[in-house]
Amino acid sequence: MAIDYNQQIPNNVNLSDNRRLQRALEAWHPKFLNWWQDMGPEGFQVNDVYLRTAVSVDAKGWANFGHVKMPDYRWGIFLAEPEQDRRVNFGDHKGELAWQEVPGEYRGVLRRLIVTQGDTEPASVEQQRLLGQTCPSLYDLRNLFQVNVEEGRHLWAMVYLLDAHFGRDGREEAEALLERRSGDTDKPRILGAFNEETPDWLSFFMFTYFTDRDGKYQLASLAESAFDPLSRTCRFMLTEEAHHMFVGEGGVGRVIQRACEMMNEHDTDDITPFGGIPLALLQKYVNFHFSVSVDLFGQELSTNAATYYTAGIKGRFEETKIDDDHLLKDASYPVFELAGDAIHEKREAALNAINERLRDEYIVDCQRGVDRWNKAIAKMGVNFEITLPHRAFHRAIGTFSEVKATPEGQIITEAEWDKRQHEWLPSDEERGYVQSLMQSVTEVGKMANWIAPPARGINQQPVDFEYVKLS
Ligand code: BYC
């Protein structure tokens, strides 16, 4: 059946005026829906879910709430409003008009960045596909599905760029985005963290807190791009990303709150007999998710990143707010390096340290939420502090992937790591314990025992609202 794309795909890119692009998306759409049925949330595809749908980019249009079935979700294509006379703000092309088309010489690198970004979106949906079966409440179930459909929309956003600006190569890449699979040994997703499992809701909250926050920083850097359609696409995606991080911060915060309540009630740190998640175990999940997420920023010193910057393709976080020459040819930046068993700071060429600078900003942002959790813990009279591990801890990418380190950043031998790693990372047994708590709670307004209710509902609805209609 022919699809009326003006109806089916809300967009602000004049889709109906571009027959070639429309045809490319018409060919891709059924494949996307097949992928969604196969790899999207298992179950719940026929249920009405209280979802936010963007139908335009203005304040009124980007957050429309209503019950919809997920396969009927209107995955739209939205670019933030164009900025009049927008210029390139950094690198060798600084001051020139921003590009509306891809310059031939940057086609390869731009495509690669867009594909890498695009690949993470379906990957995260695949990682989370079984979580609906064990939701702690309807409120959480709805939040999971909101995150999932929006990741689907972010995939559409990247596929739009590939189809609109990269011709046949772009179409092939758009297909490949639906073919790779998270965790698959033969055709894995591109970046490490997107091949890890998200087997339980604690992992989901950690993922949305730590890994979606990498999304915030990467998208913000791409939003600085001289390639204007990419910049505008990323600017709009950032609006949605904020909710994903809220789900993470709120989710972890509620697990902490419930743990503190149980600790106070039973006067013990070991709340496992009461079905709670001990704070010491939660800390191990923080250690895991933080370390796999800091890997996502790439090597400390990266000539790729320097090339992207010099070409004007990918900037720094809030580039235009930084007070320097935006060329960085003579600038330096402090980078942590290994010298034998010691870690020390060394100044390196700022251009090569672009990834590290972004990682630094990310770590500061991660710490802000941790501080809020710690404040809540202290307010409940519990003596425990959550900490972020040292950046050298449990790394698979960059300098520190060559060594083993404690969460305090002390370099240790392989043998000591093997002996002690489960002091810092969840063991199979501990993961099994968390898994054992994951029993589906779907009565309206009810919460699983291991998590506190949220302070308020979504879109001013009460917490006991029927966020997902199961009957
Ligand atoms: N895993 O020079 P380097 C999100 C590769 S999350 C595997 O440092 P570069 C979301 C690298 O590709 C945001 N491989 O690399 C969150 C390179 O390969 P080649 C996603 C890795 O290019 C939650 C080599 O190592 N967006 O949106 O400077 C839910 C040398 O490294 C990894 C982006 O990432 C890794 N972790 O930096 C849903 C933005 N790290 O050239 C969504 C686009 C590095 O030797 N991507 N490598 O074959 C980029 O900007 C860059 O590709 C990276 C890497 C920052 C990731």
Cβ of 121 closer than 6 Å to ligand 1, yes or no, is yes
Residue (of 317, 289, 297) closest to 388 by Cα position = 289
Report pTM. Answer: 0.96
With a cut of 60, say whether residue 165 has pLDDT above it.
Answer: yes
Query: What is the predicted pLDDT for the residue at 2?
Result: 46
Q: What is the pLDDT of residues 14-43, one digit of tens each?
A: 888 898 998 899 899 999 999 999 999 999
Distance 305 CA to ligand 1 centre (A): 10
Identify the residue whose C-alpha is closest to ligand 1 atom 44.
Answer: 298
The 3-class secondary structure across the chain, one letter per residue, is CCCCHHHHCCECCCHHHCHHHHHHHHHHHHHHHHHHHHHCCCCCCCCEEEEEECCCCCCCCCCEEEEEEHHHCCCCECCCCCCCCCECCCCCCCCCECECCCCHHHHHHHHHHHHHHHHHHHHHHHHCCCHHHHCCCHHHHHHHHHHHHHHHHHHHHHHHHHHHHCHHHHHHHHHHHCCCCCCCCCCCCCCHHHHCCCCCHHHHHHHHHHHHHHHHHHHHHHCCCCEHHHHHHHHHHHHHHHHHHHHHHHHHHHHHHHHHHHHHHHCCCCCHHHCCCCHHHHHHHHHHHHHHHHHHHCCCCCHHHHHHHHHCCCCCCCHHHCCCCCCCCCCEEEEEEEECCEEEEEEEECCCCHHHHHHHHHHHHHHHHHHHHHHHHHHCCCCCCCCCCCCCCCCCCCHHHHCEECCCCCEECHHHHHHHHHHHCCCHHHHHHHHHHCCCCCCCCCCCCCCCCCCCCCCCCCCCCCCEECC
| For range 447-468, the mean pLDDT | 97
Cβ of 358 closer than 6 Å to ligand 1, yes or no, is no
In sequence order, what are the residues at sequence separation of 6 or more whose Cβ sits closer than 8 angstroms to the Cβ of residue 287?
A: 389, 393, 394, 407, 424, 425
Distance 97 CA to ligand 1 centre (A): 28
Q: What is the pLDDT of residues 280-323, one digit of tens each?
A: 999 999 999 999 999 999 999 999 999 999 999 999 999 999 99
Distance 6 CA to ligand 1 centre (A): 35
Cβ of 148 closer than 6 Å to ligand 1, yes or no, is no
With a cut of 80, say whether residue 256 has pLDDT above it.
Answer: yes
Confidence of residue 53 (pLDDT cuts 50, 70, 90): confident
Query: What is the predicted pLDDT for the residue at 360?
Result: 98
Query: What is the predicted pLDDT for the residue at 95?
Result: 98
Cβ of 126 closer than 6 Å to ligand 1, yes or no, is no
Tell me the two tokens of residue 405: 């380190």
251-287 CB burial, b ≥16 within 10 A, e <16: bbbbbbbbbbbbbeeeeeeebbebebbbbebbbbbbb
With a cut of 70, say whether residue 196 has pLDDT above it.
Answer: yes
Task: Out of 66-80, 83-97, 316-330, 369-383, pick the least confident.
Answer: 66-80
Ligand 1 atom nearest to 151, measured from its CA: 38
Query: What is the predicted pLDDT for the residue at 37?
Result: 96
Angle of CA points 331, 335, 341, to nearest 5°: 150
With a cut of 90, say whether residue 10 has pLDDT above it.
Answer: no
Q: Put residue 381 in one of left, alpha, beta given phi > 0 → left and psi -120 to 50 → alpha.
A: left
Cβ of 304 closer than 6 Å to ligand 1, yes or no, is yes
Average pLDDT of the chain, as a whole number: 95
Query: What is the predicted pLDDT for the residue at 5?
Result: 54
Identify the residue whose C-alpha is closest to ligand 1 atom 47.
Answer: 298
Distance 297 CA to ligand 1 centre (A): 6
Cβ of 352 closer than 6 Å to ligand 1, yes or no, is no
Q: What is the pLDDT of residues 78-137, one digit of tens each?
A: 999 999 999 999 999 999 999 999 999 999 999 999 999 999 999 999 999 999 999 999
With a cut of 70, say whether residue 199 has pLDDT above it.
Answer: yes
For residue 48, list its beta bridge partners: 69, 469
Query: What is the predicted pLDDT for the residue at 11?
Result: 86
Distance 354 CA to ligand 1 centre (A): 13
| For range 264-275, the mean pLDDT | 98
With a cut of 80, say whether residue 56 has pLDDT above it.
Answer: no
* Residue % of the chain over a pLDDT of 90: 89
Tell me the two tokens of residue 231: 């910049």
Query: What is the predicted pLDDT for the residue at 64?
Result: 87
Cβ of 198 closer than 6 Å to ligand 1, yes or no, is no
Half-sphere exposure of 414 (CA within 13 A, CB side): 2
| For range 245-261, the mean pLDDT | 98
| For range 387-393, the mean pLDDT | 98
Query: What is the predicted pLDDT for the residue at 6?
Result: 58
Distance 267 CA to ligand 1 centre (A): 45
Cβ of 119 closer than 6 Å to ligand 1, yes or no, is no
| For range 58-78, the mean pLDDT | 87
Residue to substitute in 245, 304, 309, 400 for testing ligand 1 pocket (most ligand atoms within 8 angstroms of CB): 304
CB 5, CB 26: distance < 8 Å: yes
Distance 191 CA to ligand 1 centre (A): 6
Residue to substitute in 299, 313, 360, 366 for testing ligand 1 pocket (most ligand atoms within 8 angstroms of CB): 299
Query: What is the predicted pLDDT for the residue at 1?
Result: 38
Distance 237 CA to ligand 1 centre (A): 18
Identify the residue whose C-alpha is closest to ligand 1 atom 22.
Answer: 304
Tell me the two tokens of residue 404: 């083993």
Distance 117 CA to ligand 1 centre (A): 8
Cβ of 122 closer than 6 Å to ligand 1, yes or no, is no
Cβ of 291 closer than 6 Å to ligand 1, yes or no, is no
Cβ of 298 closer than 6 Å to ligand 1, yes or no, is yes
Distance 195 CA to ligand 1 centre (A): 13
Cβ of 170 closer than 6 Å to ligand 1, yes or no, is no
Identify the residue whose C-alpha is closest to ligand 1 atom 55.
Answer: 297
| For range 256-277, the mean pLDDT | 98
Residue (of 291, 285, 144, 119) closest to 194 by Cα position = 119
Query: What is the predicted pLDDT for the residue at 7?
Result: 62
Query: What is the predicted pLDDT for the residue at 4?
Result: 53
Cβ of 215 closer than 6 Å to ligand 1, yes or no, is yes
Round to whole Å and give the CA distance between 135 and 450. 12
With a cut of 50, say whether residue 3 has pLDDT above it.
Answer: no
| For range 60-74, the mean pLDDT | 88
Q: What is the pLDDT of residues 210-242, one digit of tens each?
A: 999 999 999 999 999 999 999 999 999 998 889
Query: What is the predicted pLDDT for the residue at 23?
Result: 87
With a cut of 90, say whether residue 8 has pLDDT above it.
Answer: no
With a cut of 90, say whether residue 74 has pLDDT above it.
Answer: no
* Residue % of the chain over a pLDDT of 70: 99
Cβ of 302 closer than 6 Å to ligand 1, yes or no, is yes
Distance 299 CA to ligand 1 centre (A): 9
Of residues 243 and 471, more confidently modeled: 243
Distance 73 CA to ligand 1 centre (A): 30
Cβ of 241 closer than 6 Å to ligand 1, yes or no, is no
Round to whole Å and give the CA distance between 247 and 249. 6
